[in-house]
Structure 1
Amino acid sequence: MEIFEYGVLDCALHFCNSLRTFIPLAQATTQMVETVKMTFGLEYQKFLKTRMDEALFGDSSLPGRASVKLRDRVLKDGKVLPNDIIDVSKFMDSQVDVDLMDACAQELSQRFANTKPTKIMTVATTGLVIALPMARYLQVPCVYARKERNIVMADTYTAAYSSKTVGKDRQLLVSKNHINKSDRVLIIDDFLSSGSSQEALLRILSDAGAQAVGVGVLLEKAYDSGRQSLSGYDIPIQSLCRVASVDGGVIQLVEEEGFDKINETK
């Protein structure tokens, strides 16, 4: 007898005998899987998940198509403003390319699927362009932090942060009704630069007793200190496009591993 770690078996299944003429397919399959598991220690669910990942996500070692499209769009339509501010208002701010954002949301959702979040948290309003479609793909509610209190926010968690875009200190507010101690929260945003706003959200989650399971962003300024400032929280950080520099007003992207293989298969 030879044992394989993974494999596919085609065989005829017989569901009737002299005592019983019908057994539901689901029950028969479940009993067969349990027998194989107990006899040989083989895990059907692990095999099934691997096959599903291959079918849905392709080669996980390669960047997704959405990452490539986002990189191309940043280089084509992105502009550098004073104070190293990257203007991407043509497709993800004042004007939103909904097809691109949907594709990016699907890829980023795949990267965080194993963290099993129960909620997504973002900052209004720019973070919503990616957080809302991700919430749909992950089938979880989306909670967003406001920068100003409104009439329905009587009791809130509050955290201050420094906004480079606005050029002054601001605060984020989240209603206490929207975060529970049992929540596993995935933080999603459009940019990661200094990490100030993401860290403010992490402090809010800490105050609420909820667990942060990761930080995902569309664009990361790799030349800034954001990733380093969040490293102490020991959570995964994922970005679809990393900007290496904006020296001289020219956007230079980080050459991520695997993009050469993507280009070969185009």
Structure 2
Amino acid sequence: MDLLKERIIQDGKCYQGGILKVDSFINHQMDPNLMMELAKEFVKLFSDLNINKIITIEASGIAPAILVGYIMQLPVVFIKKKQPKTMENMLTSVVHSFTKDRDYTVCISSDFLTEKDHVLFIDDFLANGNASMGVIDLCKQAGSKIEAMGFIIEKAFQNGGKTLRANGIRYEALATVKSLDNCKIVLE
């Protein structure tokens, strides 16, 4: 997606350790027009699937997931990183955050993720695939089917894509970062 690639080159920042910072337009301050275009692209990519629910993980996946849900007229459920006192029938999984270098016990109510669900997972980044594997685990616990996963940006030099392919998961990324060596952003 050319519009996204242009923004990554123009406004993205690279940090040592393979970190790409896109907080000025995706995951802190958001460009709503760009988010809507990203959502439209996800809808095109996954329009052939039988999906009845969009899921994401807080926090950066919420905005694009809501827009995809709006366009597709589907409910959106976000997996929480902290257990609320009010959550009942909880499913949990442990996810390691690459950016924050810490583990989170994520949770979702089985009231909102069931064996009847055919889900599309939307998130901002695919790096090592840790969040994705947590989602796969939660869906297995719920008996739901992951139809596909969509990511705004994939860091192809990390193992997330390989992990998803090995698990038979269909996924699409709207932009793919080939390398961040020497803090130079190289896109496919």
TM more than 0.5: yes
- Structure 2 counterparts to residues 115-194 of structure 1, below 5 A: 115-194=49-128
Unaligned runs of 5+ in 2: none
CA contact (8 A) 2:27 2:124 kept: no
Higher helix share: 1
Q: Partner residue of 2:6?
A: 72
Distance 1:82 1:244 in 2: 15
- Structure 2 counterparts to residues 5-24 of structure 1, below 5 A: none
Q: Partner residue of 1:99?
A: 33
Shift of 1:111: 0.6
CA contact (8 A) 2:98 2:127 kept: no
CA contact (8 A) 2:81 2:106 kept: yes
Unaligned runs of 5+ in 1: 1-66, 255-266
Higher strand share: 2
Measured against aligned partners, the alpha-carbon deviations of 1:140-189 in whole angstroms (never above 9, x if no partner) come to 10010010011221321101121111112212111111011111011110
Letter in 1 for 2:55: M
TM-score (norm 1): 0.69
Shift of 1:235: 2.6
Distance 1:99 1:235 in 2: 29
- Is the counterpart of residue 228 in structure 1 residue 153 in structure 2? no
Q: Partner residue of 2:136?
A: 202
Equivalent position SS for 1:115: coil
User: For this pair of structures, how many residues does the alignment match?
Assistant: 188
The structure, 1 or 2, with the larger RCO (C-alpha pairs under 8 Å, 6+ apart) is 2
Distance 1:77 1:129 in 2: 19
TM-score (norm 2): 0.97
Task: Using the aligned pairs only, state the percent identity.
Answer: 29
Shift of 1:85: 1.2
Larger Rg: 1
